[in-house]
Structure 1
Amino acid sequence: MSGQANTPIHDHLIRGHDYLAQRPEFSLIGRTEPVQQLTAILTRRNANNILLVGSGGEGCSALCLGLEERKLDDGAPYDLISKRFFWLDSDGLFASGNPNTINDSFQKALKILARTPDSVLIIDDMRDFIEASRNNGASHLINALMRAVRKKDTQVILESRDADLNVVLSAHSDMREYYTVLDLSEPAADELIDIVDQTARRRLEPFHKIRIADSAIAAAVELTEKYRVRDMGLSRAQPERSFTLLDRALTSYRLRAHSKDPRIVVWEAELEALAQEEPNSPRINELKANIQTISQQWQTRQQTIKKLFQELRNGEEGIRRLEDELETQLLKEAEARENAADKEGIKGSTSALNRFMLDTVSLDSEVVTHIKQKISQYEALVKEKKSDFEAQTKEINDQLELEREQVLIEFSSISGIPVTKLTQDERKKLLHLDAQLAKRVYGQDVAITKLANQVRVAKAGLQAPNKPQASFLFLGPSGVGKTEIAKALTAELFDDESALLRFDMSEYMEKHAVAKLIGAPPGYEGYEAGGILTNEMRKNPRRIILFDEIEKAHPDIFNVFLQILDDARLTDNRGLTVSFRDSIILMTTNIGTRHFLGQSNFSIAEELAMEDLEKEYRPEFLNRFSGRQNIVCFNTLSLSIIEMIAIREINKLNEMVRTTMPNLTVAMDSTALSAMCRDHYKPVNGARGITGYIEGVIKPEIANTVLFADQSSGIITIGYDEVERCPVMSLPDGQGVEQATG
């Protein structure tokens, strides 16, 4: 429920033009199509009431206010101009807590709407209205509202968060019949830039008194579109996310700039760079002199501002004190006049008349006049000091402009993503995507190349319309990199491996499991919660989704897959549609694994695995992967690849050791590493076998060696006993420590 500071005309109804007039800064930017849809629905004969659904921050409230604003446009249709919009002051309606008072007020409001031609009632948070009705013992208000709708006494627009849609729809059985659900989505890219740009300049610049560069607005939109962070302010929908980021960046920049002259920050950075690169440069002395001069000027200015601020506060406090003194004096004199009148015997109507004459014609006393003069002097002083204070701060703020770098710094502090990654050129990142993926996934060049090429096609805007950006089916033995490539791709594109949306299909083996993805049917437990997949995609449609080991999923799940892969859209149990057009769909399966393990010829194994795949899945499913071009078989890993993976794991282990003991190094020579991999690698386990061995055997022995070593510097050498098939550790001083673990 919104708490309006508006004055209702009658019984908690606020006229649309009054509601708009009290928001002079409001202007609806873009959103032409949703406004047209709203207007069209309101003009219908049937189902001409609207349930406006959207995520927090998408602008449902702004869209409704935009209808009132559009009535002023020259090109507005008469059908819209004739509509008379009223906002319900829900807070005021339920403020008494008395069910009878609430009911009477609401019934009067409905009568006013019924007497007003073409009236439209807007309730800006229907879930809160429903809960407040129930909590105050006035559940029948919903029935009364629906009765007015059925009788066509008024039209209604209800605003609801998409998470609350089921609560609203289940509030009355006729809701679906009389209301049209309009699902509001985030504005498109070009429209989003315009909305953020104009809104930020109209609201944020006057508040912070700092200019915003175009590059800062572009950066805010780019970052909030590409990344999703768990911060509450940046978890809402666009354009709210971009607006919030700009507000926070301006705040941080403003505080930094008001504590130190911005020129000093630039010069100190230049000085630090020169001190490392050209320590004898004459520019260093020049910079130091400039910094000292500006620092002194800045301190002087800061002292002046602080003094002005203190004088301003003293003046304001003086006014408050004198106003209290004046009020006390006026009451004292009024009481004295009344006592004097009573003593003179003034009574009845004559007394009232004389008292009135005394109050109206009497002049201020000397004391009152003196206090008023002092108040006037203080007010003049406050006005002067305020003007001086604003002039000083304006002189500083006029030098400031929020730029892209400040937005990047703020977003980095919120998300934890280094600024260096945020500033990477997206085109260069895509160009070298193959090489970056190959650093994590060894021996799968075909899969890497196909995946990287498809991503580049999508980013270049060449993807098929109404299809996901890419869809791949990976098959091959366990532990060869099918899941790892999904994690690596997520880390490269989103700089955060945890951004991967992963579904282990072993959890979806039952027939009813499809409800987990798209939500339970009406009447079943969990209906209101929606589906895991659809909810996540509504929050963030730009995802990499991994469906792991799809052969374990129930056959009904594949009907969901077909729709995602074909139309790039899915409708959940509540009737809300989510788009997969900006997502990358990756699926893995272990079907055909036996052929790769038992056949030395990869091409033959690939053909046999594809035959198994065709027996298991319908052709229409397999054809969804770009006509089967994106069904990729992964190689079994050779011993040389396993050695590369082992080296990588030993390097990771070395980095862990250095975090606690910086002067200690872990090393394993190539002979020992090769022997270890040869003894403990089994193709059926893939890379997990050797990584598991390092995790379960090598790492504990390193831990024991580090804990009990007398020296905290040098090299711990990992050897390997081929007879005992176990590692041997050597301490930095060269004394061997035999381990009995096999």
Structure 2
Amino acid sequence: MPQNNHLIRGRDKLAQQPDFQLVGRDKELKQLAGVLMRKQANSVLLVGTGGVGCSALCLGLQASKNDSEASFDIINKRIYWLDTDGLFASGDPSAMNEHFQKLLRTLSRSKESILIIEDARDFIEAARNNGCTNFINALVREIRMNKFQVIFETRDDDLEVVLKCHSDMREYYTMLDIKEPAHESLTEIITVTSKRLEQHHKITISEGAIATAIDLTNKYRVREMSLSRAQPERSLNLLDRALTTYRQRAHAAPAELTQLNQQLSLIEAAIAGDESSEFLHVPTEQLLSKKSELLQLISQQQEQWQSIQQQLRKCYKNQRDGEEGLIELENALLKQQEVEQAQGDTKPEPETLDQFRSFSASLAAGFESEAISKIRAEIAQMEAYVKENKQAFEQLTRQVNANLCLDVDSVLAEFSAISGIATDKLNQDERSKLLKIHSVLNSRVYGQDHAVDQLADAVRVARVGLKDPEKPQASFMFLGPSGTGKTELAKALAAALFDDERALLRFDMSEYMEKHGVAKLIGAPPGYEGYEAGGILTNSMRSNPRVIVLFDEMEKAHPDVFNVLLQVLDDGRLTDNRGLTVSFGEAIILMTTNIGQPNFLDENLSFDEAVSETMKELDQVYRPEFLNRFNGRENIVCFNRLDLAVVEKIARREIDKLNRQIKASGKNININISDQTLADICQDIYVPAIGARGLPGYITTRIKPAVANTLLQTPDAEGEMLIKYDITTKQLNISAPTKQAVLNPA
């Protein structure tokens, strides 16, 4: 518990979590201990994304003092946590200052004292808002004089505030960047920590459920608050939510009863002749016998479940009545004590020696009146009743939960409900997904088979662990005419690997044409505004390292940007202006450029000739060392100019997409356009310099308005909207749906 000077001793802090165990963080704990044992810069700034475990690491430092292998220097440390909320709770600057000076005196008694401030930004802003900015200077002064050490914990997003709070932060503090644990360590952490969830929910968690939670939270990023934090907290939050949903479902109807009802449904379907039933070919006599057996088992299970429910409800009622009775008895005791105290105040003083001796003896014996003794006996009896009833309730709960175990399907269902991604996609085997990736990409990007093949092969190589561990999973540069599928291929890859196009991190390099564009990517230099905020690229990668990064129209970027990206392509890592390093080892880097575009539009040049001319132009624009980073230029891929057959396929895809949108809105209307009509439209509107980009615009401006007007004027209309095209007038003829219910104009 907090002491009067708002310091919590390390052993008291650890005692608040008796089952605490730090696992999977041996390396980080050793680094932290090493900094604390230094002579210079031996205070620590622990930096990490929310949920990564900075607080657990500090608690692990306290726990490590009990290890047999702990360094004597660490054993000798006196660790304190600051009760920040308690320090600033009064709102009185004088009282706050008095308490702060007192805790400084406590810490200064030994140079081996360590003050841990769990939320540095919270402390700094509370000091400023309460007129106590001297607290920050006082801490730095004490550190400078080597009176004690400080550990500041801060999130990435708050690092700017902490670094700006004092000009000497970098001189006296060593920054430790705590990253998400590697897979093996993460599995160990979740396996150990999930035991606390099992104790809370009283339901076991299968190994498969733990592995699935880790896999899903590593692979996908969702905007839901509890799942947007760092590992290991993401996985633990998913397991906690899955356990809650599973428990609600299991306590509404037991799992055994649910399974029996499912089997009964399959048997009844087979008896009715349903071809989808797995028991269709079983003889009818056996089906009827099995049905009778199931009905009997279901009846027995229902009786048992109803009996347990009645007992649980009875225990709940008894518990509620007992607790209310305790409150009434305690109130009655207080009233009786008040009454007797008032009566005692009015009693005359003992006059005789015998009266005095009797009065003294009653005090010595702890004498209470008969009324109070009776109430106390009733309270003791009621407490025993409540305790006994609680044990009965817990026994029934254990009986209900005995056969419950959180499985893979429950975790998948919970994550699907949160993310909106279908369970079948989440449950798709990674191996199967990689084997199908070629066909999935080809279903969205037409006419660029060579580019799809090369990208799919590179992804497979990386995902099976054959890539260079020091480089991104794949790095490609796409060239070719506009509208041929370069950006679409990047989106298709994001959807194929992560089931979400939003997993694509896109940078339009026309926004980085100036020299200061580098500062936007990795952060401003020291002394410039926004220095502490970091860069867009590095911050995004720290929050989600498993991503596809698309740099669009690279030729527009300032040359200094290429120097930054050289490090990304070669080393797979990048250090921002604050000294925080991000890894691109799990990222796929894609770049597009318009260089050489006229070569592919020149009908006098073959594709191979256009590629040859374009590669010469690339050498004039980009440095050789930059181009060589793309797998020795093997991953510099040129896209074909689209022919009309491909354009027609893209147009058909867009019409199908429109029909899906109409159905999703609840309308039974279908756009019907023949292949010949579509070919005539594409023949007239396709411009090679624009590529396929003109098709969505044409559909949006010419076809969608007709659909919108139909939905507004005849909301009950259904059927087909036939579209014809006059090649002479270049006009569309769109007929209304075949079945309509026209609104009354009045």
The reply to whether TM is greater than 0.5 is yes
Task: Indicate whether 1:62 and 2:56 are aligned.
Answer: yes
Aligned to 2:80: 86
1:701-712 equivalences under 5 Å are: 701-705=706-710, 707-708=712-713, 712=717
Aligned to 1:305: 312
How far is the alpha carbon of 1:103 from its aligned partner? 2.5
Q: Match of 1:7, as an amino acid?
A: P
1:125 aligns with one of 112, 119, 126: 119
Could you tell me how far apart the structure 2 residues matched to 1:190 and 1:115 are? 42
1:166-181 equivalences under 5 Å are: 166-181=160-175
Per-residue CA distance 1:691-716 (angstroms, 9 max, x = gap): 32222212223333555569734322
Aligned to 2:572: 568
1:725 aligns with one of 726, 730, 733: 730
Per-residue CA distance 1:576-596 (angstroms, 9 max, x = gap): 111111100111111111000
Between the two proteins, the alignment pairs up a number of residues equal to: 724
How far is the alpha carbon of 1:656 from its aligned partner? 2.5
Q: Match of 1:704, as an amino acid?
A: N
Could you tell me how far apart the structure 2 residues matched to 1:36 and 1:232 are? 32
Task: Indicate whether 1:501 and 2:501 are aligned.
Answer: no
Could you tell me how far apart the structure 1 residues matched to 2:739 and 2:29 are? 78
Aligned to 2:652: 647
How far is the alpha carbon of 1:362 from its aligned partner? 6.4
1:478-517 equivalences under 5 Å are: 478-517=482-521
1:361-440 equivalences under 5 Å are: 361=365, 363-440=367-444
How far is the alpha carbon of 1:180 from its aligned partner? 0.9
How far is the alpha carbon of 1:28 from its aligned partner? 0.6
TM-score by length of 2: 0.93
Could you tell me how far apart the structure 2 residues matched to 1:189 and 1:711 are? 55
Q: Residue 432 of structure 1: SS of its match in structure 2? A: helix
Per-residue CA distance 1:358-406 (angstroms, 9 max, x = gap): 5444643332233233223322322232222111111001111111111
Per-residue CA distance 1:595-633 (angstroms, 9 max, x = gap): 000144100001111111111111111111111111000
Could you tell me how far apart the structure 2 residues matched to 1:82 and 1:661 are? 71
Q: Is the 8 A contact 1:212 1:403 kept in 2?
A: yes
How far is the alpha carbon of 1:449 from its aligned partner? 0.7
Q: Residue 108 of structure 2: SS of its match in structure 1? A: helix
How far is the alpha carbon of 1:721 from its aligned partner? 1.1
Aligned to 1:471: 475
Query: Which of 408-417 and 662-671 deviates more?
Result: 662-671
Q: Residue 47 of structure 2: SS of its match in structure 1? A: strand
Task: Indicate whether 1:696 and 2:701 are aligned.
Answer: yes
Could you tell me how far apart the structure 2 residues matched to 1:515 and 1:245 are? 36
TM-score by length of 1: 0.93
Aligned to 2:744: none
Q: Is the 8 A contact 2:484 2:642 kept in 1?
A: yes
Could you tell me how far apart the structure 2 residues matched to 1:508 and 1:430 are? 34
Q: Residue 262 of structure 2: SS of its match in structure 1? A: helix
Q: Residue 667 of structure 1: SS of its match in structure 2? A: strand
Per-residue CA distance 1:165-191 (angstroms, 9 max, x = gap): 222122112211111111111111000
Could you tell me how far apart the structure 2 residues matched to 1:90 and 1:662 are? 58
Could you tell me how far apart the structure 2 residues matched to 1:61 and 1:711 are? 60
How far is the alpha carbon of 1:417 from its aligned partner? 0.8
Q: Is the 8 A contact 2:180 2:232 kept in 1?
A: yes
Aligned to 1:28: 22
1:50 aligns with one of 29, 44, 50: 44
1:341 aligns with one of 338, 348, 357: 348
Aligned to 2:460: 456
Q: Residue 478 of structure 2: SS of its match in structure 1? A: strand
How far is the alpha carbon of 1:690 from its aligned partner? 2.3
Could you tell me how far apart the structure 2 residues matched to 1:714 and 1:222 are? 45
Aligned to 1:540: 544
Could you tell me how far apart the structure 2 residues matched to 1:518 and 1:710 are? 53
Q: Is the 8 A contact 2:264 2:291 kept in 1?
A: yes
Task: Indicate whether 1:157 and 2:151 are aligned.
Answer: yes
Could you tell me how far apart the structure 1 residues matched to 2:394 and 2:716 are? 63
Q: Match of 1:311, as an amino acid?
A: N
Q: Residue 115 of structure 1: SS of its match in structure 2? A: coil
Q: Rate the CA distance shift 1:464–1:351 in 2: closer, same or farther, 3 A.
A: farther
Q: Residue 501 of structure 1: SS of its match in structure 2? A: strand
Aligned to 2:445: 441
Aligned to 2:607: 602
Q: Residue 472 of structure 1: SS of its match in structure 2? A: strand
Task: Indicate whether 1:676 and 2:690 are aligned.
Answer: no
Task: Indicate whether 1:256 and 2:288 are aligned.
Answer: no
2:690 aligns with one of 678, 682, 685: 685
Could you tell me how far apart the structure 1 residues matched to 2:56 and 2:366 are? 54
Could you tell me how far apart the structure 2 residues matched to 1:678 and 1:193 are? 57
2:201 aligns with one of 204, 208, 211: 208
Could you tell me how far apart the structure 2 residues matched to 1:105 and 1:298 are? 58
Could you tell me how far apart the structure 1 residues matched to 2:358 and 2:457 are? 97
Could you tell me how far apart the structure 2 residues matched to 1:7 and 1:429 are? 54
Structure 1 unaligned runs (5+)?
1-5, 736-742
Could you tell me how far apart the structure 1 residues matched to 2:477 and 2:553 are? 10
Aligned to 1:319: 326
Q: Rate the CA distance shift 1:142–1:355 in 2: closer, same or farther, 3 A.
A: farther
Could you tell me how far apart the structure 2 residues matched to 1:607 and 1:236 are? 48
Aligned to 1:739: none
How far is the alpha carbon of 1:96 from its aligned partner? 2.8
Per-residue CA distance 1:411-432 (angstroms, 9 max, x = gap): 1111111111110000010011
How far is the alpha carbon of 1:546 from its aligned partner? 0.7
2:294 aligns with one of 281, 287, 293: 287
Aligned to 1:19: 13
Query: Which of 316-325 and 712-721 deviates more?
Result: 712-721
Q: Is the 8 A contact 2:437 2:456 kept in 1?
A: yes
Could you tell me how far apart the structure 2 residues matched to 1:707 and 1:164 are? 50
Q: Residue 445 of structure 2: SS of its match in structure 1? A: coil
How far is the alpha carbon of 1:309 from its aligned partner? 0.7
